[in-house]
Amino acid sequence: MRGGMVRRAIRSTPVQRMLEDFRHMPMLGRWAAGGATCLGIIGAVTGLVVGLFAYPLTAPFAMLELGLPSTIFGGAIGLITALTVMAMRRIWRRDRHLMCEAGSTLTRRKPDSSRAS
């Protein structure tokens, strides 16, 4: 057991540690960070390409001009998506619980009043 732990620690890279931390984040933060990262990278690359074609000396500023707003937008989209998923899961769980309760009342026999007297 200990040998496996040592091997895992040796193979652990900063990226693997970052992904491990990402997995342990709450759902809202994980989805917001994922959306911000994805759209931020897309916006930064788009800004770089546009900046290189427009005027190469200002390409880093074009990356910021397009990357920063797209990062904020991606985080907001990720947060809204996570909230929607959480709400849908809660509704699904509630409906499933109600269906189980309804099923248990249908199968339960009610006492017959004519036999009681």
Distances (CA, A) of 101 to 93, 96, 108: 12, 9, 11
In this structure, is residue 75 part of a structural domain?
yes
Q: Look at residue 63 and tell me if it is in a domain.
A: yes
For 104, counting Cβ atoms within 10 Å of its Cβ (0-12 exposed, 13-18 middle, 19+ buried), the class is exposed
Q: Is the pTM of this model over 0.85?
A: no
Q: Which residues of 46-82 are buried (b: 16+ CB within 10 A; e: fewer)?
A: ebbeebeeeeeeebeebbebbbeebbeebbebbbeeb
Domain-located, residue 82:
yes
Query: pLDDT tens digits for 95-106?
Result: 887 777 766 555
Instruction: Tell me what the mean pLDDT of segment 83-106 comes to.
Output: 80
Which pLDDT tens digit goes with each residue over 7-56? 555 667 888 888 888 889 999 999 999 999 999 999 999 999 999 999 99
Report how many domains make up the chain: 1
Residue 1: what pLDDT?
A: 47
Domain that holds residue 90: 25-104
pLDDT, average across residues 59-83: 96
